[in-house]
Chain A
């Protein structure tokens, strides 16, 4: 039995759902990066180019999110993500997946905590923002960094 025989069984419903779960995570990562980056740019420079562009094309954000959801959903090939189905239950309760989620969240927390000092220095002193906007920038940067780190690490740990 070759490795490819073992790993390329895409007709297996469990594999289809697992690929869907992974693609969903990638889509969430993509959306978080866009929203977090845009939010941070708006806070740091409300009159900047990103703020002007996002004000002109604000309607694009929901459109992009819906398109991403439709594209990811289409990879299910006429199946439905039903939390009560045995395949979805097997994926959601999968030990390897849970282990990787735990590891990713632990490392993401460490990264966010370690980033507070340089972020505070950067936002509070270097950018010279007023206190309220500096706090908002810190919060947005921390949440975005944490989510991106968590999702990227999970996708890395959970790779084939």
Chain B
């Protein structure tokens, strides 16, 4: 009976390790705090109807940023724990038992979670957030092709986030297999616990969300562009996003299928990837990397787009050779689909096969180098402003070059035999994913922050944050390259002091702490910008002298994006409009999609299906499956998914907005033109003074 009701679940599953208990307590405290705050402010209804059920891509984009940011802190904590373990391993314990403060199983769970969280739940979230917010604005659309699919994709992502953190919040264990859970290590024989099941279902749920989101954005970009915007007039970030989403649609079904096969192996006793019964684990390695390699480019291409936008805007020049840049991005995404085997040259394929994939990998370097050349040519004879987005770009180039060089070295199969699975490899892909993707994300977030919030970000603290990231990165990953050359393999929970690796691991830890300081500074940067909101407010909608259509509307944009859908005649559409004079606003009726909670319901049921499978609770799976079907049917019969905003209502909203922004322009809150952005020290003083004021005057009573 108990088994029927609860499956494998029992009290032993509850958190009982110090770090899971700590995580659970911290998480519960956070939830409790949020609940209290929302209840006191009476904001539940607002939260539900304005945000959680919203189909507005701008709001979904912001929710992606918030969840992704939270996961960045979570994955960063994992990183610190990994660094700490490796820096201290030979010093905790004596002789043979010098194995650090974490057991091997814990350590392996932590680096697995770190990889999964950073790739799926941080990088993907930020990239999808940027695409959600910016792409519809750049193509002059009011809306997405399928707003419902978009909210469903987002909530499935949140379901995946919950699933990957379940072992913390609820209990059990996480996979201890590395981020791709390579067979047969991840099979039922070697990983009998629920860890790999959590892994399967967190990726499965969020992966399906990614597929749906990608389909939606391909449709949107292909069908919803403003009149006159041909494909060859699209902004480059939109191009990068299109390439990325096409790749995502190509590869994510492959992940879904692979995960199902792995699930069948583990739960139904099939033999796809087992070592016995005719299965072959090498097939798993092939399948997972056929998805896994292009996945990195799914993240990278929108980041290339961001850099192209930033370089053109801050050089005040159109991109040099637009066609070359676009062909470069298309080239990268085309080659990216045929290089996966370079992840396992060492599995024993013949020299012909290895050499072929080496050639394909080297081919990818060509369009990538071309992209860099177009950026140089764009800066040539420009007038370059060095605001923080540009700093992120310049930092990206340095780190990305190191990552690119080492990447091509790894593409030479005989060299790869030595470098594979070493820390050299780990340093290489961190150069690409931090230097390339994450710097691209930060670059884009800083660049579009005024568009999203109506506030420019504080430059001074932003600059310090950049330098902390850049220097911290060099300090933690250059020693990692060196360790690789010393023969240090990845994922070691302990090693002998006699190897001489410890000083370098300690340097890495220090670098990691500097990166954490960078993260703290980024949070401080946002806080300082809010404090100085009167000074940093942007009422023009175009703070940088932008070139593409997202700057043609207000900051933040109204929920219908544009009062008038712009007519596009040239590539830098908004730049051209500014030269010729902006069109007069003419008001028209606008169709707006209605908010819907169907996405949350379906994702909630999907989460329960996953949870049921993890713990073998069959009734829960069946009930949730029925729930999903019912919600889909009900949603399908909903004929009234849109409502109309009349021209008169639009006019009223627009006039109110203009009046408000004029009022803000006149009342600058006492800030003078000569004032500068707050420094970190000024921020600290301000926060201390504020805290003292609250305590002295007992202001909390008012709350």
A joins B in a complex: no
Could you list which residues of chain A lie within 8 angstroms of chain B, going by C-beta atoms?
none
